[in-house]
Structure 1
Amino acid sequence: MGQDIFIKIKGIGGESQDSLHHGETEVLDWDLSVSQTSDMHSGSGGGAGKCTVDDFHFEHYIDKSTPGFLHYCLMGKHIPEAVLTVRKAGGASLEYLRITLQEIIITGVHPVYLNTMRVPRETVSLSFSRVKIDYVLQNMDGNSAGTVSAGYDIKANAVI
């Protein structure tokens, strides 16, 4: 299944020409990883600790957003919000996943070109204090059938 993936980061424009995501950065792949410590295996009651949230990483073709990502990373400049949108490509394209990050600092910019690549790519890493995920259910007609959401404030260790 084809995917269209975009990220909108306030203050840093991309080159997307998509009618709904014009000026955003087109994303090739992304990664969000969280883990929870637990002592379930030790037989001591099964309590949970504070979760560990890794940086959000995404890869894109080097484009006009590259200097902005580098500048924000070098300066430690804060970004209020970034929104990643994933859409099923073709037909009745449904935007079915939205990840919203808030209070962001770019922690890494890694441009790379290998001779197997057609175009140079870049991996960008974002540290954030709040995350919200919205998943849109799809009915048999391909339309939205409701949304399931979850959010977390990492600094406050609280659900949002």
Structure 2
Amino acid sequence: MASDYLLEIEGVKGESTDETFKASIDIDSFSWACMNEGTGGRGGGSGSGKANFSDFQFNKWCDSASHDLIKSCATGKHFAKAVLHCRKAGEKPHEFLTVTMEDVFISSFNSSGSSGGGSIPLEAATLNYVKIKYEYKPQDKKGGGSGNLIAGYDRALNKPI
């Protein structure tokens, strides 16, 4: 399935020409994780620990957003919000996943290149955040949305949102 991944970070201008998300950042891939260290191997019962969230990592090609990401990483600049939009491509694109992060800063930035094939540099960056909301929108048989499934967490308060 062909998909579009577009990342909006308030104050960072990318090169997307998408009509809905102009000047957002076109990303190639992303990754993040929620973990919970259990106590199943420690004696008399299985308990759960505190939720631990990884930084949100994304890969993109070198573009106009790169310099803002580098400067923001170096200075620790905070952003109010970052939003990832994931859409099924096609005549009527369906946004099936939205990941919204609040109180965000760029926690790392990496760039790598290779002279083979004439490729432009590939970049990886990570976002640290206080709140995260993961919103999945199933698609019905007619191509429209059929409700939202939402999970979210406030890391500062250590509770679901």
Fold similarity call, TM over 0.5: yes
Aligned 1:17-56 pairs, distance under 5 A? 17-56=17-56
Q: Distance in 2 between matches of 1:44 and 1:4?
A: 48
For structure 2, the residue ranges without an aligned partner over 5 or more in a row are none
Runs of 4+ in 1 over 6 A off after TM superposition: none
Matches within 5 A, 1:117-156: 118-156=119-157
Alignment of 1:80-159 (within 5 A): 80-114=80-114, 115=116, 118-159=119-160
TM-aligned CA deviation for residue 43 of structure 1: 4.8
Instruction: Figure out how many residues of one structure are paired with residues of the other and give that number.
Output: 160
Amino acid at match of 1:4: D
Counterparts of 1:78 and 1:44 in 2: how far apart (Å)?
A: 44
Could you give the per-residue CA deviations for residues 75-98 of structure 1, whole angstroms, max 9, x where no partner exists? Answer: 111111000000001132100000
Amino acid corresponding to residue 125 of structure 1 in structure 2:
T
Return the structure number with greater strand share. 1
CA-based RMSD: 1.2
Helix, strand or coil for the counterpart of 1:58?
Answer: strand
Superposition deviation, residue 141 in structure 1: 1.1
User: Taking structure 2 as the reference length, what is the TM-score of the superposition?
Assistant: 0.95
Alpha-carbon distance in 2 for matches of 1:96, 1:48? 31
Partner of 1:74: 74
Q: Secondary structure at the match of 2:69?
A: helix
Once the two structures are TM-superposed, the CA of residue 116 in structure 1 deviates from its matched residue by: 5.0
Matches of 2:26 and 2:60, distance apart in 1 = 6
Q: How far has the Cα of 1:104 moved from its partner?
A: 1.0
For 2:63, what is the secondary structure of its paired residue?
A: coil
- Aligned partners of 2:55, 2:87: CA distance in 1, in Å? 23
Residue 59 (str. 1) matches residue 95 (str. 2): no
1:103-139 residue CA offsets vs partner (Å, 9 max, x unmatched)? 1111111011123562211101111111001100111
CA distance in 1, matches of 2:83, 2:13: 13
